[in-house]
């Protein structure tokens, strides 16, 4: 919102790209000069693609959820300045569908109470009481870092879930079938009724275990290989 310094605009673009965020909306900025591009470093594309609007209302229309940020959470009760932490916000951000716009204020006077009133809620980064107000681009970095951390967490947990998925009944049945085929190939035990009994026991053991899919797949291989080797030996004998 009405950024004043080219250096900060450049730094904001840079941290945005660092944390995988690319849509920058500048409300009534100064004309961008080479200095902003210089500080953006490898995030010049973020600046080139920035949408420029003249009023806060125009920017608000472009998002579904508007989050204000302020370093001044107010010593007296001001509803528009009652904040949540960036971490809390980052955790909640995954509950919303639609576009979330995080609004940062002017270097000189931040966002006014009237502007904060238009936001759905406000985020304040906990800082030292001695000097709570951060540099604009530093504040952007902290908020985006928190969102990025939650994003990684969400991605890793789905990745882990994929690997730690419990084996399905069908996957267990395949393992039992391989086991039974191996016993048949070995002709072990010789008595077919006992062979069947061995297979039932194997099914019970697998059924009782909370075996993961990746574990069951690692058991398929040796059983199949053993079966193939025995068959090959039998053929060589003949
Ligand atoms: C330099 S600050 C503005 C300072 C201004 N004097 C004021 O009173 O708000 C520029 C912007 O950085 C963000 N900011 C700075 N410190 C912050 C903090 N502790 N928590 C959240 N945002 C902060 C806000 O968006 C703020 O409008």
Every domain of the chain and the residues it spans: 6-163, 169-237
Mean pLDDT within 45-56: 97
**Contact at 8 Å (CB) between 103 and 66?**
yes
Task: Decide: 178 and 158 in contact? Cβ < 8 Å.
Answer: no
- 112: confidence class by pLDDT, cuts 50, 70, 90: very high
Strand-pair partners of 49: none
Who wins on pLDDT, 112 or 75? 112
Q: Give the pLDDT mean for 99-110.
A: 96
Encode pLDDT of 142-180 as tens digits.
999 999 999 888 877 766 666 677 788 888 889 999 999
* Domain 6-163, architecture per CATH: 3-Layer(aba) Sandwich (3.40)
Ligand 1 lining (C-beta closer than 6 Å): 69-72, 104-105, 107, 109-111, 123-125, 127, 132-134, 136, 139
Nearest CA to ligand 1 atom 25: 104
Ligand 1 centroid to residue 129 C-alpha, Å: 14
Task: Give the distance (Å) from ligand 1 centre to CA of residue 131.
Answer: 11
What is the interface pTM, i.e. ipTM, of the complex? 0.98
Of the pLDDT bands very low, low, confident and very high (cuts 50, 70, 90), residue 74 is low
**The pLDDT of residue 189:** 94
Cβ contacts of 195 within 8 Å, gap of 6 or more: 180, 183, 184, 188, 189
Backbone φ and ψ for 141, nearest 5 degrees, come out as -60, -45
């Amino acid at each position: 919102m009405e950024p004043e310094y080219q250096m900060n605009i450049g730094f904001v673009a840079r941290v945005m790209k660092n944390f995988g965020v690319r849509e920058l909306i500048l409300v009534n900025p100064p004309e961008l000069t080479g200095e902003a591009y210089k500080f953006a470093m490898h995030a010049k594309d973020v600046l080139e693609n920035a949408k420029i609007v003249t009023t806060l209302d125009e920017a608000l229309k472009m998002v579904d959820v508007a989050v204000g940020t302020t370093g001044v959470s107010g010593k007296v009760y001001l509803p528009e300045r009652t904040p949540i932490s960036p971490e809390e916000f980052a955790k909640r951000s995954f509950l919303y569908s639609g576009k979330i716009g995080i609004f940062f204020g002017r270097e000189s006077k931040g966002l006014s109470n009237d502007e904060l009133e238009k936001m759905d809620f406000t985020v304040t980064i906990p800082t030292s009481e001695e000097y709570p107000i951060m540099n604009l681009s530093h504040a952007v970095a902290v908020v985006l870092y928190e969102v990025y951390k939650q994003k990684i967490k969400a991605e890793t947990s789905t990745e882990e879930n994929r690997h730690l998925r419990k084996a399905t009944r069908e996957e267990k049945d395949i393992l039992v079938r391989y086991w039974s085929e191996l016993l048949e190939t070995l002709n072990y035990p010789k008595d077919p009724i006992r062979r069947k009994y061995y297979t039932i026991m194997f099914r019970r053991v697998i059924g009782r275990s909370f075996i993961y899919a990746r574990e069951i797949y690692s058991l398929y291989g040796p059983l199949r290989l053993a079966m193939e080797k025995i068959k090959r030996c039998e053929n060589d004998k003949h």
